[in-house]
Amino acid sequence: MSLMQEVAEAAAQHLGALAVTLADPWQRVALGAAVLAAALIVVSAFVKTIIPLRWLAVGSNIGFMLYGYLHPSPLILALHAALLPVNLWRVLEMQRLTRRVRSANVAELRTGLWLQPHMRRRRMAAGSVLFRKGDTADRLYLLAEGEMELVESGRRLHTGRMFGEIAFFAPDRRRTATARCTTACTVLSIDEATFKQLYFQNPDFGFEIVRLIAARLTEDVQRLEGELAAQRPPS
């Protein structure tokens, strides 16, 4: 038997099996679900933002689960049944963050209250040093309770203040002051890995962080201008 005859027979067998499969309405549904799920995967390759990408993954999981149940294919069914809750959880988490960012008022944006669900809590006694001048800035902080002092400048930070963001984004990543608790404090922090994950998964988050830093820099410039104006001798 020649190679061409073998190929023709194999193609005929596959076509015959496909015809038998398509004769069953449930198998047509299964194949349609698989084709749709595969199409969603192809579309997801062109999506740039995480929330639409996760929804496409959810749709693909459902399509392959339907195919795995009707065809049947237990392995495909089990795989996508395991992936579906993960994708649903991630997309709902990102949507909650987006709603918090959009609904936050100016005060909440400046204090970082909308970031609390993604931060770790730490209790510190009075006199404890959170970080020292020159330390590597690997975390962004929010003072949830108590009062803290920036030793070199003598500035006091009160409850609800986000701090440490300038060094966190500075080129050398070094702290420019020492932060010490003047009372017992509760400090919330977010690490670089979590921050980057939120930034890349949610564009609104990154935009609001830029606004926050711009507001901080504006406040510092205005404070310095006021200090310089107070030091000038009267004309």
Which domains can be identified in the chain, with CATH numbers? 3-103 (no CATH), 106-231 (2.60.120.10)
Quick: pLDDT tens for 183-197. 999 998 888 888 777
Helices H / strands E in the chain, number of each: 8, 8
At residue 102, the pLDDT reads: 59
For residue 106, the model assigns a pLDDT of 47
Residue 215 has pLDDT above 80, yes or no: no
Residue 16, judged by CB atoms within 10 A of its CB (0-12, 13-18, 19+), counts as exposed
The answer on pLDDT for 14 being more than 70 is no
Helices 203-231/192-201 angle, 10° precision: 120
What is the reported pLDDT for 131? 93
More confident residue, 100 or 166: 166
Taking 80 as the threshold, does the pLDDT of residue 206 lie above it?
no
Token pair recorded at residue 65: 């689960």
Is residue 135 within 8 Å of residue 175, measured between CB atoms?
A: yes
Is the pLDDT higher at 104 or at 86?
A: 86
Q: Taking residues 79-93, report their average pLDDT.
A: 89
End-to-end, the C-alpha distance of the chain in Å comes to: 109
- When the pLDDT of each residue in the chain is averaged and rounded to a whole number, the result is 78
Under the banding of pLDDT at 50, 70 and 90, the label for residue 220 is confident
What pLDDT does 12 receive? Answer: 57
Q: In what order do the strands lie in the sheet with 179-181?
A: 129-131, 179-181, 148-150, 155-157
Euclidean distance between CA atoms 51 and 92, whole angstroms:
9
Q: Say whether the peptide bond before residue 233 is cis (omega within 30 degrees of 0).
A: no
Model confidence at 108: pLDDT above 60: no
All residues at 6 or more sequence positions from 44 whose CB lies less than 8 Å from its CB, including other chains = 53, 56, 57, 60
Please tell me the predicted confidence (pLDDT) of residue 17.
55
Question: Hey, how many other C-beta atoms are within 10 angstroms of the C-beta on 185?
Answer: 23
46-50, 123-127, 185-189: least confident range:
46-50
- Does residue 93 have a pLDDT over 50? yes
C-alpha 84 chain-centroid distance:
19
Residue 123 banded pLDDT, cuts 50, 70, 90:
very high
CA distance 86 to 109: 29
Q: Mean pLDDT across the stretch 93-99?
A: 72
Query: How far apart are alpha carbons 28 and 39 in whole angstroms?
Result: 16
Which is higher by pLDDT, 16 or 38? 38
